[in-house]
């Protein structure tokens, strides 16, 4: 096995425990990995401003992958790569959501826009230290404000299945659809993904795919794990993610990231996996 030079981690359900915290053991393992010269970054569906707190806490000093790969940005707020939705496609996505009468939120320039579910959005914004705005009609936001990095639709799974069917029928390859939870659809540019973003970032850093360790737990982590030299699924991961992994670590409440780092980075097992 090649020496690991870059670690890319999902956040919710992976790096963060169920209390949305980084455990002391995980923090220590990341610090030790960085002390050995290993680069560490996030690959998350979260908006950029929702990762800043954790990036500062862990000293993440390289670009981070946000919005499921639609944005790569560093703590100095330099944008390295951006791949937002097309304005027309985004408008159609939001119109489909409105027709199905479901909650949709559009992320434009790191602001969350919605026209319903304001208490839920306000609570989210307060908890994760992000900007949110209630508008009269979210369908008009792409044309009025700009192309969204991502649109998220939240509803119970049976309804979401109908929404997804409509989206695929009406927009086809004009959008990409992924999930981080059973009750949400995350719509991004068709060329955006965590895996593509990770390979792009690795190329900028002169790091080969076989020198990457990726860790995740959800459907939106599948292509992240696919492109990495070592793919690790959390113990709490969806079965389809576990099936893709080289190693299944402990769950997010039992320091799964720390366990993986010790196995593949800190214990110097060149034959690990």
For residues 147 and 86, the answer to whether their CB atoms sit within 8 Å is yes
Q: Measured between alpha carbons, how far is 119 from 106 in angstroms, rounded to an integer?
A: 16
Of 10, 12, 217, 251, the active-site residue reads 10
Q: Is 153 helix (H, G, I), strand (E, B) or coil?
A: strand
Q: Measured between alpha carbons, how far is 111 from 145 in angstroms, rounded to an integer?
A: 10
For residues 1 and 271, the answer to whether their CB atoms sit within 8 Å is yes
Is 10 a catalytic site residue? yes
Spell out where 83-229 has E strands. Answer: 103-108, 111-114, 131-134, 150-154, 176-178, 184-188, 212-216
What would the two tokens of residue 116 be? 């319903």
Residues marked as catalytic? 10
């Amino acid at each position: 096995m090649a020496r690991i030079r870059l670690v890319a981690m999902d956040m919710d359900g992976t790096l963060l425990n169920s209390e949305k915290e980084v455990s002391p053991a995980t923090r220590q393992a990341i610090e030790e990995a960085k002390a050995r010269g290993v680069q560490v970054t996030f690959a998350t569906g979260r908006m950029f401003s929702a990762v800043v707190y954790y990036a500062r806490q862990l000293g993440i000093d390289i670009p981070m992958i946000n919005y499921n790969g639609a944005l790569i940005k560093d703590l100095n707020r330099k944008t390295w790569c951006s791949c937002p939705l097309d304005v027309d496609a985004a408008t159609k996505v939001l119109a489909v959501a409105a027709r199905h009468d479901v909650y949709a939120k559009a992320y434009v320039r790191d602001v969350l826009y919605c026209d319903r579910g304001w208490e839920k959005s306000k609570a989210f914004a307060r908890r994760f230290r992000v900007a949110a705005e209630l508008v009269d009609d979210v369908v008009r936001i792409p044309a009025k404000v700009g192309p969204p990095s991502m649109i998220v639709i939240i509803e119970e799974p049976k309804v979401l299945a109908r929404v997804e069917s409509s989206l695929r029928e009406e927009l086809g390859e004009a959008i990409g659809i992924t999930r981080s939870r059973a009750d949400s659809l995350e719509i991004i540019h068709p060329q955006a993904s965590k895996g593509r973003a990770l390979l792009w970032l690795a190329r900028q850093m002169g790091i080969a795919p076989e020198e990457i360790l990726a860790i995740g737990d959800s459907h939106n982590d599948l292509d992240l794990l696919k492109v990495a030299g070592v793919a690790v699924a959390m113990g709490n991961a969806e079965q389809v993610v576990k099936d893709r992994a080289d190693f299944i670590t402990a769950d997010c409440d039992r320091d799964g990231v720390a366990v993986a780092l010790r196995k593949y980075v800190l214990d110097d097992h060149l034959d690990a996996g």
